[in-house]
Amino acid sequence: MSNLSVKLQVPNGKEITLPTGLFINNEFVKGNSEEKLESIDPATEQPICSVEIAAASDVDAAVQAARAAFNNPPWRDLPGEGRSKLLHKAADLMEQHLDELFAIQSMDVGKPYASSRQMEGAHLVGTLRYFAGWADKIHGQTIPVNKDKFAYTLKQPVGVCAAISPWNYPLTNSGWKLGPALATGNCIILKPSEYSPLSSLYLAKLFKEAGYPPGVVQVLNGYGKTTGEMLTTHLGIDKIAFTGSTATGRRVIQAAAVNMKKTTIEAGGKSACIIFDDADLEQAAKWAAVGGFGNAGQICSANSRILVQEGAEEKFLAIFAAVAKATKVGKPFDADTTQGPQTSKMQFDKVLGYIEDAKQLGAKLVTGGGPLRETGNSNKGYFIQPTVFSGEEVFGPAPAVTTFKTEEEASALANNSTYGLAAMIFTENIKVAHRTAARLQAGIIWVNESNNFDWKLPFGGFKQSGLGRELGQSSLEAYLEEKVVHVNCGLQL
């Protein structure tokens, strides 16, 4: 074991050798920062390990390596079929190492291991395979202008990309960025959140094993305000893909303007879940729990605002409270756990603060409403009870329920937000579903379900929920430049 790796004893019985260095030019190296980034297990509040932090000189080295790789024939001239094979190979390796990847993620961020390995693991692998399928299908158009002129367009990679991924879905969200960037022929530098630094390093190891040339995929750990800002302002980077808060997204856009980097921003949301009185309330409550308590409520598209038609409120609240109480909060590696801890002490304190604010503002507490420290034999961990309010919304496992009378009022309430990431509609009337979907100002509309993602479909929002889309065919355009070639076929001056 080198001083740039550590052996992790995982609660599911595995021992994993985890790299802890910066991944630059296909090597794990020591950073030039004197600081280290410590990862804390949110279920135990104990340190897991420390990893290297990228200083400005390390960011420069990674950008130079990426630029060299982008201009180097082994990657520059690799046809789409070759890029497709590499991405498929990476996906195969991830499928083989899902146990390790998701055990590391569960220790790092507190996700229930069994469910995240199954669902997020399938999503990560499926995402990379989907974009691998696009790699040899990226082409321009031929445009016959007139008898004297012919033109064609070329779709070419942007160049060196930086991806800043969030702490709530470190592996799957990294796949959302790595897949389209690599399928289109770019080089990419991934910066994980400082609250989830570990799993991306194991991911880097697998990309190297898949055969990617040096400099094509790199991972730099560090803080958003330092390493993240160095990436967003660096003149050698051509594109930024960011997922995180709206406030930070604004700063990324401003910083990227220094050289007019292309940007994809996936920011926050206060998504409305509209439940009409003709809906299957049992199913609506179960789906609302998926979108409200899933990932400990730490989902940017969480259905934090539940709007119930007046005639169904009492029955829905009773069912939803029962579902909330049945949610098993526990340690990530316990087989029956369905909700783990909040990812960090910061998030734990913030959510509890929001819950207290909601109480002070007069919101009615239906169930939950506080920390849950009694897990096993310990009194540790950032666990919060599944909470239901009637009145105020909270970013965490605490959706709020309010009422409406008409279709028009439901849409108006749902749209009364600076955000527009997602919305949910529950009704048995397909006409009502389509009318409401058309009225809602949100990028993703789920009908009779919530937060059921698919890598073939674009993900992104309206208003202050972001710029551009991830996933689906449309996400490829963010990683491509279009060039037009004019050919004079006979016009003479």
Please name which of 270, 276, 310, 308 lies closest in space to residue 291, comparing C-alpha atoms: 270
Q: Per-residue pLDDT tens, the chain, 493 aa: give them.
A: 458 999 999 887 789 999 999 999 999 999 999 999 999 999 999 999 999 999 999 999 999 999 999 999 999 999 999 999 999 999 999 999 999 999 999 999 999 999 999 999 999 999 999 999 999 999 999 998 999 999 999 999 999 999 999 999 999 999 999 999 999 999 999 999 999 999 999 999 999 999 999 999 999 999 999 999 999 999 999 999 999 999 999 999 999 999 999 999 999 898 999 999 999 999 999 999 999 998 988 999 999 999 999 999 999 999 999 999 999 999 999 999 999 999 999 999 988 998 888 888 888 888 888 888 654 545 789 999 988 888 655 556 678 899 999 999 999 999 999 999 999 999 999 999 999 999 999 999 999 999 999 999 999 999 999 999 999 999 999 999 999 999 999 999 9
- Terminal-to-terminal C-alpha distance of the chain: 72
The number of residues making up the chain comes to 493
Please name which of 418, 476, 482, 453 lies closest in space to residue 264, comparing C-alpha atoms: 476
CA-CA-CA-CA dihedral for 384, 388, 390, 396, to nearest 10? 50
Please name which of 153, 155, 93 lies closest in space to residue 125, comparing C-alpha atoms: 93
The string of DSSP codes covering 39-58 is EEETTTTEEEEEEE---HHH
On the CB side of 268, CA atoms within 13 Å amount to: 15
Q: And the tokens for 406?
A: 């008409």
Contacts for 78-85 with beta carbons within 8 Å, 24 or more apart?
A: 78/185, 79/136, 80/135, 80/136, 80/137, 80/138, 81/135, 81/136, 83/132, 83/135, 83/136, 83/182, 83/183, 83/185, 84/132, 84/133, 84/135, 84/136, 84/183, 85/132
Spatial distance between the Cα atoms of 304 and 401, rounded to a whole number of angstroms: 9
For position 375, what pLDDT does the model report?
47
Q: For residue 10, with 0-12 CB atoms within 10 Å meaning exposed, 13-18 middle and 19 or more buried, which class applies?
A: middle
In 227-333, DSSP assigns E strands to: 239-243, 262-266, 272-275, 305-309
For position 395, what pLDDT does the model report?
54
For position 88, what pLDDT does the model report?
98
For position 357, what pLDDT does the model report?
84
Q: For the chain, how big is the Rg over CA atoms in Å?
A: 24
Neighbours of 2 (CB within 10 A): 10
Q: Which residues are catalytic?
A: 266
In 393-479, DSSP assigns E strands to: 400-404, 419-420, 422-426, 444-447, 462-463, 466-467
Spatial distance between the Cα atoms of 383 and 368, rounded to a whole number of angstroms: 12
Task: State the sign of the Cα–Cα–Cα–Cα dihedral 281, 287, 291, 294.
Answer: positive
For position 392, what pLDDT does the model report?
59
Please name which of 490, 480, 485, 439 lies closest in space to residue 462, comparing C-alpha atoms: 439
Parallel/antiparallel/unpaired status of strands 480-488 and 149-157: antiparallel
Parallel/antiparallel/unpaired status of strands 27-29 and 22-24: antiparallel
- Tell me the whole-structure pTM to 2 decimals: 0.95
- For residue 300, give the DSSP letter: T
Hunting for tokens 């409120």 — which residue is that?
Answer: 313
Please name which of 205, 229, 227 lies closest in space to residue 218, comparing C-alpha atoms: 205
| φ, ψ (nearest 5 deg) of residue 366 | -90, -40
Spatial distance between the Cα atoms of 308 and 120, rounded to a whole number of angstroms: 30
100 vs 5, 42, 108, 114, 276, CA distance in Å? 15, 18, 12, 12, 43
| φ, ψ (nearest 5 deg) of residue 195 | -90, -5
